[in-house]
Amino acid sequence: MSLSIKKNGTAISLSNIKFSWGSAESDFQLKLNNFQLNRQESSILVAPSGAGKSTLLSLICGTIRPEEGTVRILDQSIENKSAAERDSFRADHLGIIFQQFNLIPYLSAIDNVLLPLHFSSNRKKKSGETQSKLVLEAERLLRALGIVPETLGRQKANTLSIGQQQRVAAARAFIGSPELIIADEPTSSLDEKSQDEFLDQLFSQKEVTGATLLMVSHNARVAKRFNKSIKLQDICTTSFTEEKML
């Protein structure tokens, strides 16, 4: 399934970015000269609060557009795409894992894993042609991430523990083999043992699909697993109001 993924080129390339929330002088501003991540690389982004992490991730995921500069994801400029095109692009090419509360509470774990396929026909095709094949694929991913699909997989998401939820979220991020996985502090609510297990599984899936991984984390302990470690304050400058400081 990794055959279709290009091995060369950049997965993320941001240059000369300027972005501000709102038009007032005092509003939060972010400037970023250059940020690059090659395909199939894994990179950890260390970001203290207020350093512009959310803004950077929103730019990469395409929910916001920079005022200046270019955002190239998987060799496509997305800053000129329409909002709907960026949504489709995200559906097709990105798998996203949040810090916590990743799942739609009223859907089963399996249905949560299958969710991205309803918004991306590309990823659906890559996962299998028929509904039963899709379910098999979701079950395979869940199993790979340590969730027994026959039991936990059928449970409502809100009945799972936080650790289990994060694994389901990872399975969802990987289904249909998107080229880029964005994980925003996915292990911060897990204990050390679970963190290691989770990262093992995350990396093994990354290897299988050949995806590029960008993970935000404060945890220096895990940094050694990644090809690259980037400090956010090294690549971008931010300004924000005193109000927001308080």
Q: What is the distance between the alpha carbons of residues 12 and 32, in angstroms, rounded to a whole number? A: 13
51 and 232 Cβ atoms separated by less than 8 Å: yes
From candidates 20, 43, 102, 177, binder to another protein by CB under 8 A: 102
Q: Does 107 bind another protein (CB under 8 A)?
A: yes
Q: 176 with 54: CB under 8 angstroms?
A: no
Residues 6+ apart with CB under 8 A from 41: 11, 212, 213, 227, 228
Query: How many C-alpha atoms does 176 have within 13 Å on its Cβ side?
Result: 26
Q: Which stretch binds another protein (CB under 8 A): 114-122, 125-133, 138-146, 204-212?
A: 114-122
Instruction: Please state the separation of Cα 25 from the chain's center in Å.
Output: 31
Asked whether position 104 contacts another protein by CB under 8 A, the answer is yes
- Of 9, 67, 83, 204, the one binding another protein (CB under 8 A) is 83
Beta carbon of residue 10, minimum distance to another protein (angstroms, whole number): 22
User: What does the alpha-carbon distance between residue 56 and residue 30 come to, in Å, rounded to a whole number?
Assistant: 8
Of the two residues 44 and 173, which places its CB atom closer to another protein in the complex? 173
Helix (H, G, I), strand (E, B), or coil: what is residue 184?
strand
Enumerate residues 6+ apart whose C-beta is below 8 A from 60: 12, 14, 71, 73, 182, 214
Neighbours of 232 (CB within 10 A): 19
The site that binds another protein (CB under 8 A) totals a number of residues, namely 31
Residue 103 in contact with another protein, rule: CB under 8 A: yes
Q: How far is the CB of 50 from another protein (least distance, A)?
A: 12
Say how far apart CA 110 and CA 168 lie, in whole Å: 8
Report if residue 77 touches another protein, rule: CB under 8 A: no
**Residue 94 Cβ vs another protein, minimum distance, rounded to whole Å:** 8
Which of 18, 76, 106, 148 binds another protein (CB under 8 A)? It is 106
Contact status: 115 vs another protein (CB under 8 A):
yes
Measured from the CB atom, the residue of 87 and 197 that comes closer to another protein is: 87
Which residue in the set 98, 143, 144, 155 belongs to the binding site for another protein (CB under 8 A)? 98
The residue among 81, 36, 37, 43 whose CA lies nearest residue 62 is 81
Instruction: Figure out which of the listed residues 58, 155, 188, 239 binds another protein, where binding follows CB under 8 A.
Output: 58
Least distance (Å) from another protein to the CB of residue 192?
A: 26
Asked if residue 206 binds another protein (CB under 8 A), the reply is no
* Chain contacts with another protein (rule: CB under 8 A): 54, 57-58, 61, 63-64, 83-84, 87-88, 90-92, 96, 98, 101-107, 111, 115-116, 118-120, 156, 172, 184
